[in-house]
Structure 1
Amino acid sequence: MLSTYFDSYARDYAYYKGGAWCYEDGCLYRGLSALHDATGDGRWLDHLVRLVNGQIDPTGEIRGYAAEEYNIDNLLPGRALLYLDRHTHDPRYRAATEHLAIQLEEHPRIAVGCYWHKLRYPHQVWLDGLYMTLPFKVELGRATDRPALVADATRQMLTALTLTFDEKSRLYRHGYDERRQQPWADKDTGLSPTHWARAIGWMAMALVDLVECLPAGSERDTLASHLRELSVRLKQLRTPDGRWLQVIDQPDLPDNYAESSATAMFAYAYLKAARLGVAGVDPEIGQAAFRSLQENALRPDGKDRIVLWDVCCVAGLGGLGGVYRDGTPAYYLSEPLQPDDVKGVGPLMMAEAERLRLSQAALADRR
C-alpha cells in the first residue's frame, strides 16, 4: 500500500544535505503536510515535527540557513513552519519564519520585480523559483496580516508567466535572463532553449497552490485561466501510458524518457485544480498519471523495497561544479537519475493526498 511506502520513506529519510535547511527536505515536508491535511492521520504530523525540529533550535534559529546567500530554494521549507505553527502553536516555528521573511524583503530582483533565482544566478528567473517562494510568501502574508506580501507574490507570478511563455509551443521555458548575458539565453527573448518537464511541473504546482491561497477576484481568475490553458496543452503531450517526458515536447528525441517527478507534479496539479473547481481541468488526466506511476515507476529495488524510479536527480542552467549546463535537450537527458529522490516522492505524496480528497468528496456526494 502507498501509505506503507510513504511511512517507511519518512521514517528512514536522511536529510538531503546533512541537516542543512534546503528545498529538497521541503519537498518531503509538503508531502507530509498534504497527507496529514487530507487524512488527519497523526503519523504524518509526527514525521513532520520530528524532521523539522531537527533543523531548528528552541529559539527558531535554522540550521545551515544564511539569508545573505539569497538562495530562493531555501524558502520552500518555510511552508512547513507555517503548517506546524497552525497545528502546534509552538513559538519556535513562527520565530523561524521571521528569519525567512527577512530574505523575502531583501532578496534581489530583476528590473520588473521578480526575484533573482539565486545570488550566484544574477538577473535570472527560473520556473523552479516560483514554487520555492511565491506560495510561501502568500501564506506568510495571510498568516501575519501582511497583505503587501500577498500582492507582491501575485504580481511576481503574473509577470514571470509572461516572461517565460513561448508562444510557438504554448509552454514555459525553464529560465529567463533579463541581461541576455548567459550563453543559454536567446539574445532576443532571454529564454533558455528547451522545455524541461520538471521546471513546468514546479510552475504548475505554484499556480494551483496560489489559486488555493488567493481570495476570489480577477488575479485569482487570471491564474486559474493560465492553469486551465496549461492543462489543455499538457493533455496533448502525455505518453501513451499517461506520463510526461523529461524533454516534454520532443517525443521523437532519442533516449527521451517518462520522468517521474514531473509526472507526479502534474498529477497533483490536475487533481488539486479539479478539487478547487477550476473549470476545464480534467481530473481523470491526473488520476491516469497517478495510476501510471504506480504501475510503471513504483517497483522493487532488488531488496524487497518499493522504490520510485525514473526521477531526474537535478537539472539547472549555467555553470556548476565545472560543468556548463546549456539548457539543450542533450543536456537535460545527460543528468543522472536518482531512484526515490525526494523531488519525486514528495510530489507523489501530494498527489496521493489530492486523490484521497477527491475520493472523499465523491463519496460524500453519493450519500
Structure 2
Amino acid sequence: MLQDYFETYVRDYEYYKGGAWCYEDGCLYRGLIALYEATGQRSWLDHLIRLVSGQIDAQGRLVGYEIDEFNIDNILPGRALVFLHRLTGERRWLDAAAPLARQLETHPRTGSDVYWHKLRYPHQIWLDGLYMALPFKVEYARAASEPQMVEEALRQFTTALDLTYDRQAELYRHGYDEARQQAWADAESGLSPAHWARSIGWLAMAFVDIIENLPAGATRRELNDRATALASRIIALRTADHRWLQVIDRPDEAQNYPESSATAMFSYFLQKLARLGGPAGVSEAGRASLQSLVGHEMRQDADGRLRLHNICCVAGLGGFNGRYRDGTVGYYLSEEIRADDIKGVGPMMMAYAETLLDTQSMMSQSAQPEGRAELSAAAKQ
C-alpha cells in the first residue's frame, strides 16, 4: 500500500511554490533519496532527477533562489544536489549547490556563531533551521573537500543544542532569541514557551543525518549520546497508540491532537538512530509509530484517493501575514491542519525506508529461512 501511495503522490506532485526553490520540495527529495537507497529501484531516482532538474535553469541557476534573502530554509533541497553529485560524479550538480554554500559563508549569525533563522528573524535560532542548514553543510563540505566546514557545522549544532535545551522538560524549545526582543521570548532564557513536536522532529532528524556523516570518534559518540537521551524522552511522551501530540508534552490540553508529520519524523529518527549505533530497542518504537500512523491516518477521501491526514501545515514564531505567532500551546493548536502536506509525506517516506533497511538487516543476519524476521505490518503494506 505505502509504495503505491508514494508512487502516486510523487507522480502527481506539483512544486510547492510553483517551481521556486524551497524547503518543502526538499522534504520530498529527502524521501525519494531514502527510498532509492533502501530499495535500489530506479523509479525513485528518476523522479528525483526529473523534479530537481526542473528547478535548475539553462545557466545552471536555481529557479527563484535569491542568495541575499538569507533564508535558511532554502538550503535543505541542496542536499539532493550533493547526493546526485556523489551518485553520478557529474560536476554540474555540485556547481548548482555552490550558491547555497556561499550563502552560508555570509548568512547572519548570532553572537554565539549560529545562523539566524532568516534575515527577517534577526538574532533568532529555530530548531527547524538546524535541520535545514547543517546536514547540508556537512555533506557539501565532504563533497568539496572542505573539512573546516564540517568542524564549524558541528560547533554550531552543539552550541544551538545548548541554547535551546529546556533542562526541566528534557526537551528542546522551538526558538531562541539572543536579543530577547521578541514577545515570545522568555526574558531570562530567551526561549519560546512551548514544545512543538515538529520542531523537535526537525532537530531529531538533524541529529541522525549529521551523525551518519561522521567518522567513529569522540564527536560522534557525544552526539549519539545526546540523541539517545532525546530518544528516551520522546518515547516516554508517546500517546497510547504510539504517536506524538502537536504540543508533545501537553496531553491535558483538550484540543491537542496526534500530529502526523512529527510522528513520521520521530519514526525515522528512532529507527535510524538504532541503525547508526544507538540503542537497538528504539528501532522497535520507531517501527510501531509508523505502523500506528498508517493505521490511523492513511484514509481514502471522498474521491477514493488515499491520503495522509492530520498534518500541521505550518507553524512559526513572530509576525507573519499580519498575525503574531506567540509560541504558546494555544497558538500551535490553532494552526491549519492539511492532508498530504509534503512535510508529513516526505518524512513518512524516510521512515518507511528505514523500516525496509531494518527488515533487510534482520533477514541478512538470519542463518535459517525459518528464523528470518517477518516484515512489520507497515513494511508489508
TM-score normalised over the length of structure 2: 0.95
* Counterpart residue number, 1:4: 4
Partner amino acid for 1:148? Q
Greater shift in the superposed pair: 218-227 or 327-336: 218-227
Residue 362 of structure 2 corresponds to residue 365 of structure 1:
no
* Contact 2:78/2:97, CA 8 A, preserved across alignment: yes
For 2:311, what is the secondary structure of its paired residue?
Answer: coil
* Residues 243-280 of structure 1, C-alpha deviations (whole Å, 9 max, x = no match): 00000000010110000000000000000011112136
Aligned counterparts of 1:40 and 1:285: Cα–Cα separation in 2: 26
For 1:253, what is the secondary structure of its paired residue?
Answer: coil
* Contact 2:138/2:210, CA 8 A, preserved across alignment: yes
* Contact 1:60/1:94, CA 8 A, preserved across alignment: no
* Contact 2:38/2:354, CA 8 A, preserved across alignment: yes
Aligned counterparts of 1:104 and 1:280: Cα–Cα separation in 2: 36
* Contact 1:310/1:339, CA 8 A, preserved across alignment: yes
* Contact 2:183/2:326, CA 8 A, preserved across alignment: yes
* Contact 1:57/1:92, CA 8 A, preserved across alignment: no
* Counterpart residue number, 1:213: 213
For 2:118, what is the secondary structure of its paired residue?
Answer: coil
Greater shift in the superposed pair: 206-215 or 56-65: 56-65
* Counterpart residue number, 1:180: 180
* Counterpart residue number, 1:107: 107
For 1:163, what is the secondary structure of its paired residue?
Answer: helix
Where does 1:60-99 land on structure 2 (aligned, <5 Å)?
Answer: 60-99=60-99
* Counterpart residue number, 1:269: 269
Partner amino acid for 1:41? Q
Aligned counterparts of 1:10 and 1:28: Cα–Cα separation in 2: 8
For 1:160, what is the secondary structure of its paired residue?
Answer: helix
**Equivalent pairs, count:** 367
For 2:338, what is the secondary structure of its paired residue?
Answer: coil
For 1:216, what is the secondary structure of its paired residue?
Answer: coil
* Counterpart residue number, 2:372: none
Aligned counterparts of 1:263 and 1:270: Cα–Cα separation in 2: 11
* Counterpart residue number, 2:342: 342
Aligned counterparts of 1:59 and 1:212: Cα–Cα separation in 2: 33
* Residues 29-70 of structure 1, C-alpha deviations (whole Å, 9 max, x = no match): 000001001111000000000000100024320000011000
For 1:213, what is the secondary structure of its paired residue?
Answer: coil
Aligned counterparts of 1:273 and 1:353: Cα–Cα separation in 2: 14
* Counterpart residue number, 2:32: 32
Residue 180 of structure 2 corresponds to residue 152 of structure 1:
no
Where does 1:160-179 land on structure 2 (aligned, <5 Å)?
Answer: 160-179=160-179
* Counterpart residue number, 1:328: 328
For 1:228, what is the secondary structure of its paired residue?
Answer: helix
How far did 1:207 drift? 0.3
Aligned counterparts of 1:62 and 1:92: Cα–Cα separation in 2: 12
For 1:112, what is the secondary structure of its paired residue?
Answer: coil
Aligned counterparts of 2:87 and 2:168: Cα–Cα separation in 1: 46
* Counterpart residue number, 2:47: 47
* Counterpart residue number, 1:116: 116
Aligned counterparts of 2:126 and 2:140: Cα–Cα separation in 1: 22
* Contact 1:232/1:281, CA 8 A, preserved across alignment: no
* Counterpart residue number, 2:378: none
* Counterpart residue number, 1:197: 197
Partner amino acid for 1:71? N
* Contact 1:290/1:351, CA 8 A, preserved across alignment: yes
* Contact 2:86/2:143, CA 8 A, preserved across alignment: no
* Contact 1:273/1:281, CA 8 A, preserved across alignment: no
CA 1:308 to 1:289, structure 2 compared with 1: closer, same or farther past 3 Å?
same
Aligned counterparts of 1:35 and 1:83: Cα–Cα separation in 2: 13
* Contact 2:308/2:345, CA 8 A, preserved across alignment: yes
For 2:292, what is the secondary structure of its paired residue?
Answer: helix
How far did 1:26 drift? 0.1
Partner amino acid for 2:260? S
TM-score normalised over the length of structure 1: 0.99
What is the root-mean-square deviation in Å for CA atoms of aligned residues?
0.9
Aligned counterparts of 1:58 and 1:366: Cα–Cα separation in 2: 50
Aligned counterparts of 2:14 and 2:90: Cα–Cα separation in 1: 24
For structure 1, the residue ranges without an aligned partner over 5 or more in a row are none
Aligned counterparts of 1:343 and 1:83: Cα–Cα separation in 2: 20
* Counterpart residue number, 1:222: 222
* Counterpart residue number, 1:128: 128
How far did 1:92 drift? 2.4
Partner amino acid for 2:159? T
Aligned counterparts of 1:233 and 1:289: Cα–Cα separation in 2: 15
- Report percent identity of matched pairs: 59
How far did 1:281 drift? 5.2
Partner amino acid for 1:155? R
For 1:284, what is the secondary structure of its paired residue?
Answer: helix
Residue 224 of structure 2 corresponds to residue 259 of structure 1:
no
* Residues 224-245 of structure 1, C-alpha deviations (whole Å, 9 max, x = no match): 1111001111111101100000
* Contact 2:259/2:312, CA 8 A, preserved across alignment: yes
